[in-house]
A and B are shown apart, each in its own frame.
Chain A
Amino acid sequence: MSALLSVNGVVKKYDGKRVLSGVTFSAGKGEAIGVIGPNGAGKTTLLRIVMGLLRADGGWVRLDGEPVASALARVRAAYFAGESTLPPAVRARAWRSLFHDADERGENRPFRLLSRGTRQLMGLRTLFSVSGIRLFVLDEPWEGLDPDASRWLTEAMRARRDAGVTILVSSHRLHDLAGVCDRYVFLDHGFATIVAGEALARNGVVTGDGLLAAFDAVRGRAR
């Protein structure tokens, strides 16, 4: 499987403190990678470096063999960091027009008037309705979604993955991640451990509990 996304030795420091210490992994076409770690582990930082929004202090990220900054103009990638990143004063239709041609249907109230779950779902549905995306980078996408919306998101991610789209997703909701991802990046104190889903599967199924146990083992907290 050729790598669409290659992350090699990525180091990131904030105020001299290392948040990421040589993170290395790759993701092939049609592969879903889950990023797991406690708050402050650097998950969002890693995802934003992958999308070219932050610069790594060391190492590199390549998209389809090219540095991210230039590759993003060619390789269509979608990034969503959650409903809090939707501008409150902007109307939903105006925001959707960033991704689509004019669409006169659907919700058009300003985001501030919508519920948290509705904003989250709207942000995700908009990204998932864009055609030609080769890489999805999603930061805590299940946050705020009701069960129906969560199920839709999981199925949408599986469908894209099976269609050859690469997915990089971070979440604390391990049972949801377990239903989508092929491999996992465990982030702890800036260091990454890559674990294949098959290694965690019992009877062919990866569960949230299994993921948590594996993460505990990586952190030396085996129960």
Chain B
Amino acid sequence: MWMYVAFAASVLIGAATLWLNPKDVDSAFGSILLLQMFAASSGFAGSAARGYFDPILAGGRSRNRIAMGSLVASTLPGVAAWLIIVLIAAALGHAGTALTFHRFVALILVSTIAWAGGLALPRMAAGGLWAFVLLTAALSRGAVADYLVVVQSPPAGVHDALASAAAFAICPYLLLGEFPAARDPIVVGADLCVVLTVAWSGFRYIGRREYSLVEPI
């Protein structure tokens, strides 16, 4: 419940920011991405081991449908908050900035990686781990600087493109800026491949898993 409240607060603050500075759509998106890292990391194995999903898992539905339901339920609040910000930006005459594809790729990267990475972990643990890794990287300035050099110029070749795609996948917040690499179709395509691979691994995890019961904590 409090996650919905956090998203609502984030949208309100984002709306206020856009009202004051309609070009600053990225700060509104940034706070939503941060919340989405935690919200999409909704966990699955722990709840399944307590039998909470028994009616769904034993109800004859395909496991892929169940996985899709989990993905949608986990990511929908963040996606909805994102779309509200897009609408507000459009209403203020900045739809072009808000609707750029690389920004949307940032949202789906965060959503799928946090969801799939969190399936075997407690709720929000994947988001916490990811945030910790990013914070640690930010504090070790050298590594971040290396990444920024990679994404600040258009990729000169496939190697550069893959390096940029990896940087965006590890830190999707970089896609919120106007870095030249974010507009490169090879880079964005590689990141979409990451999304598909991660989502597939999540579907496979739910599909192949065994569901033993543990005593509820």
Q: Write the residues of chain A forming the contact surface with B, with a CB cutoff of 8 angstroms.
A: 44-45, 48, 51-55, 72-77, 79-82, 84-87, 90, 95, 98-99
> Of A72, A77, A87, which is within 8 A of B47 by CB?
A87
Chain A residues with CB under 8 Å of B140's CB are none
Quick check: A85 and B51 within 8 Å, CB to CB? yes
Quick check: B60 and A84 within 8 Å, CB to CB? no
Contact with A along B192-217 (1 / 0, CB 8 A): 00000000000000000011110110
Chain B residues with CB under 8 Å of A85's CB are 50-52, 54, 213
Q: Is B142 an interface residue when CB atoms closer than 8 A count as contact?
A: no
With contacts A72-B58, A73-B60, A74-B60 known, is A81 near B51, CB below 8 A?
yes
What residue of chain A has the Cβ atom nearest to residue B212's Cβ?
A54
Quick check: B216 and A53 within 8 Å, CB to CB? no
Contacts A73-B61, A86-B52, A90-B52 known; list 16 others, CB within 8 Å. Answer: A48-B211, A48-B212, A51-B54, A51-B58, A53-B58, A72-B58, A73-B62, A77-B58, A79-B54, A79-B55, A81-B51, A84-B216, A85-B51, A85-B54, A85-B213, A87-B52
Bound Cα distance from A87 to B210, whole angstroms:
19
With contacts A73-B60, A79-B54, A99-B55 known, is A54 near B47, CB below 8 A?
no
Quick check: A54 and B210 within 8 Å, CB to CB? yes
Chain B residues with CB under 8 Å of A51's CB are 54, 58
Bound Cα distance from A44 to B60, whole angstroms:
19
Q: Is B59 an interface residue when CB atoms closer than 8 A count as contact?
A: yes
Quick check: B51 and A84 within 8 Å, CB to CB? yes
| Interface size of B as a range | 10 to 19
What residue of chain A has the Cβ atom nearest to residue B57's Cβ?
A53
Bound Cα distance from A48 to B212, whole angstroms:
8
Contact with A along B33-75 (1 / 0, CB 8 A): 0000000000000010011101111111110000000000000
Chain B residues with CB under 8 Å of A72's CB are 58-60
> Of A52, A55, A74, A84, which is within 8 A of B58 by CB?
A52
Chain B residues with CB under 8 Å of A87's CB are 47, 50, 52
Least Cβ distance of A81 to chain B in Å?
5
The 12 sampled A-B contact pairs (Cβ below 8 Å) are: A44-B213, A53-B57, A72-B60, A74-B60, A76-B60, A79-B55, A81-B213, A84-B51, A85-B51, A87-B50, A98-B56, A98-B59
Least Cβ distance of A116 to chain B in Å?
12
Chain B residues with CB under 8 Å of A45's CB are 212
Chain A residues with CB under 8 Å of B211's CB are 48, 53-54
What residue of chain A has the Cβ atom nearest to residue B56's Cβ?
A98
Chain B residues with CB under 8 Å of A84's CB are 50-51, 215-216
Least Cβ distance of A55 to chain B in Å?
6
Chain A residues with CB under 8 Å of B59's CB are 72, 98
What residue of chain A has the Cβ atom nearest to residue B52's Cβ?
A87
Bound Cα distance from A64 to B144, whole angstroms:
60
Bound Cα distance from A180 to B61, whole angstroms:
30
Quick check: A53 and B55 within 8 Å, CB to CB? no
Quick check: A98 and B51 within 8 Å, CB to CB? no
Quick check: B54 and A53 within 8 Å, CB to CB? yes
Chain A residues with CB under 8 Å of B216's CB are 84
Chain A residues with CB under 8 Å of B47's CB are 87
Least Cβ distance of A161 to chain B in Å?
20
Chain B residues with CB under 8 Å of A82's CB are 51
Bound Cα distance from A77 to B211, whole angstroms:
17
Least Cβ distance of B108 to chain A in Å?
27
Least Cβ distance of B209 to chain A in Å?
10
Bound Cα distance from A9 to B168, whole angstroms:
51
Bound Cα distance from A80 to B59, whole angstroms:
11
